[in-house]
Amino acid sequence: MSAAMPPAMDPAAAGEMAREAAAWCSLHGLVVGDRADQRSATVPGVGLVHAPFSLLPAHFPESFWRQACELAPVFNELVDRVSMDGNFLQNALSKTRQVDDFTSRLLEIHRKMMEINKEENIRLGLHRSDYMLDSETSSLLQIELNTISASFPGLGSLVSDLHRSLIKQYGTSLSLEHKRVPANAASTQFSEALAQAWSEFNIDSAVIMMIVQPEERNMYDQYWLSKHLQDSHGITTIRKTLSQVEAEGQVLPDGTLLVGGQKVAVVYFRAGYAPNDYPSEAEWSARLMMEQSSAVKCPSISYHLVGTKKIQQELAKPNVLERFLKSEEIDKVRKCFAGLWSLDDEYIIKTAVEKPELFVLKPQREGGGNNIYGLDLRETLVRLQKEGGDALAAYILMQRIFPKASPAYLVRGGVCHEGLAISELGIYGAYLRNKDKVVINEQCGYLMRTKVSSSDEGGVAAGFAVLDSLYLTG
């Protein structure tokens, strides 16, 4: 069960291929902003660099790939059903709220919406469920489920194209077949789902509003979706930061969201998932304003909360999935759950302090770069226990997953590095429901991410991993 592609070529050949590949990226829009100069990184068309990528696709067994794809519609349903149970969300997160200000602010908005019985007739989810293959148990285990700002549907599709193109050119000498890289339509399928939500909303001349960070390196991934929306559906996307929404937005008495004088049909969040996105009260009041409006929110506050680590851990407790899914769905979902524990369990804390290498300590944060491992994990647990109170409630513990490492060539900033690497497979899912009618519930392509095995942290946006695709093996 190998995770990444063993380089079947010498470093000189790999270097030559990496140059070809980097040129392909520029020619096909597989690019990100260049952080070297912050301003140029945020102005479209200025300061671009190829997105970091793996030179060849990661090997992945077809059976696990199918298993991951089959889970997508089930997780889509699960998110929707859990989101309907407002009391479950509030109760499960009640301890987290006391120690985590960010979650507490989100819960506050959610509570306000419960109080007014806010109706969300049109519900749009664009999720990504991330998995690793655990070599110890030979199983596919879920790392997390992203319900807000799932990155790289645009660029991920292009990496699959890049790999197919490289294999066509060099594949005979590498004994690879391009057909074994599965088609990846995440980019068009996410746009399709946004367009469908827009048409269910059914207001002439309304726009889709993408909520973006003021400084965003990953804007071309976002622009790919806007381009498909314009070219294939004739829908305009506007880009606004949370503070711009606060300054330019209003909710009309009938619930219509107007921003800069334009009616908004769908709000698509590519910001708002991390505390840094809310530097002042202005950003929070923008979030509340959008939630109060009738626009379709992707995600709504409840979908956002369902994606928290605490809810992931609550759903893994005995008899909780039973409240939301049918028995055949429960079996599928439970099979991919890793061990998850809250820190009100003395025994598990003791075990983790004794054997920190078998666990990951996760705070309630999105976006990568926040997890705690090894000796740091031990120290943190000991310190939090000493502090007493509810400090431990801000974290969950997860079983550490051990994917098999394989040699790979990773290309970043035009330079090709050889290293032992491990991979994480993300499966995108789109869900759209209008009242009782499920309009879309499907798996929508994938994102493979590969990183050197010595790095604990993952995440391409956070600078640890590179974009990849997959090569199906028997």
Q: In the complex, which residues of this chain contact ligand GSH (CB under 6 A)?
A: 146, 148-151, 213, 216, 218, 221-222, 270-271, 273, 366-368, 449, 459-462, 465
Q: How far apart are CA 273 and CA 298, in angstroms?
A: 12
| Size (the chain), residues | 474
CB of 148 to ligand GSH, least distance (A): 6
Q: How far apart are CA 322 and CA 40, in angstroms?
A: 51
Strand pairing report for 296-298 and 340-342: unpaired
CB of 424 to ligand GSH, least distance (A): 8
User: 121 or 276, CB closer to ligand GSH?
Assistant: 276
**Among the listed residues 402, 474, 463, 458, the one whose alpha carbon sits nearest the alpha carbon of residue 426:** 458
User: 356 or 459, CB closer to ligand GSH?
Assistant: 459
User: 191 or 294, CB closer to ligand GSH?
Assistant: 191
> Tokens representing 469?
């695709």
Give the angle 326-330-332 at the CA atoms, nearest 5°: 125
C-alpha count within 13 angstroms, C-beta hemisphere, residue 396: 26
CB of 36 to ligand GSH, least distance (A): 18
Strand pairing report for 249-251 and 237-240: unpaired
Q: How far is CA 421 from the centre of its chain?
A: 21
> Tokens representing 368?
């990568």
User: Residue 331: exposed, middle, or buried by beta-carbon count in 10 A (0-12, 13-18, 19+)?
Assistant: exposed
User: 146 or 469, CB closer to ligand GSH?
Assistant: 146
Which residue in the shown chain puts its C-beta closest to ligand GSH?
Answer: 461
User: 176 or 225, CB closer to ligand GSH?
Assistant: 225
User: 36 or 462, CB closer to ligand GSH?
Assistant: 462
CB of 446 to ligand GSH, least distance (A): 13
Residues recognised as catalytic: 128, 144, 146, 151, 309, 362, 366-367, 449
Q: For residue 428, which phi and psi values (nearest 5 degrees)?
A: -80, 145
CB of 272 to ligand GSH, least distance (A): 9
Beta strands per DSSP E along 372-436: 395-399, 406-412, 415-434
CB of 459 to ligand GSH, least distance (A): 4
